[in-house]
Amino acid sequence: MRTTRLSAVACGAAALTLGLAGCGASFEGSGSKDAASAEQLALRADDPWAAEVVADPQARAEGDLHDGVYTGTGRGMEGPITVTLLVSDGRITCLETTQEGESQSRGGYEAIRDGKFAAMIEAAQGSDIDAISGATITTAGVRQAVDDALAQSEAGAAADAAVPGAAEKGADDE
């Protein structure tokens, strides 16, 4: 009886040892093999930041916009985002995009710093921009800031339309 029990314990220990051996770092996804594969994949994959955004120089923004410089604000992942737009003859030029608190580990930080959002705003002539991968909330904040700035421009146009001769008077004063 004692021999049978000892044999059962020994067999159980052997099975447990062999079973746990499969939990080592030899499987895919746990060691340097995975890191090397990711690096090789990165060398062959297209760089998403390399895609150039081309703006049509003839495109104009929609709506009745008043010429001037407008700064709008939006809410990013970790703080406010501001976008400063120049509206001239119905065309939008993005002068500056800034953020406070966006983390460098998020895609939106780099897109703001590198001017990717500014190029996208100018190409779209408004807030209808594509989301940056990994920066969905930051992209929404940029869209919100652009909409805020354009709303200010439209309010200026509405104010000029409400006061007869205001646009002509402003042009003569300069």
In the chain, what are the domains? 68-163 (3.90.1010.20)
How far apart CA 103 and CA 108 sit, in angstroms, is 8
Instruction: State the DSSP code for 125.
Output: T
- pLDDT value of residue 60: 73
User: pTM for the full model?
Assistant: 0.63
Mean pLDDT, residues 89-96: 94
- pLDDT value of residue 116: 92
Q: For residue 31, is pLDDT > 70? A: no
Mean pLDDT, residues 4-22: 68
- pLDDT value of residue 131: 87
Q: Which of 104-113, 127-136, 161-170 has the lowest mean pLDDT?
A: 161-170
> In the chain, at which residue ranges do the beta strands (DSSP E only) sit?
68-75, 80-88, 91-99
Q: For residue 54, is pLDDT > 50? A: yes
Burial class for 158, CB neighbours closer than 10 Å (0-12, 13-18, 19+): exposed
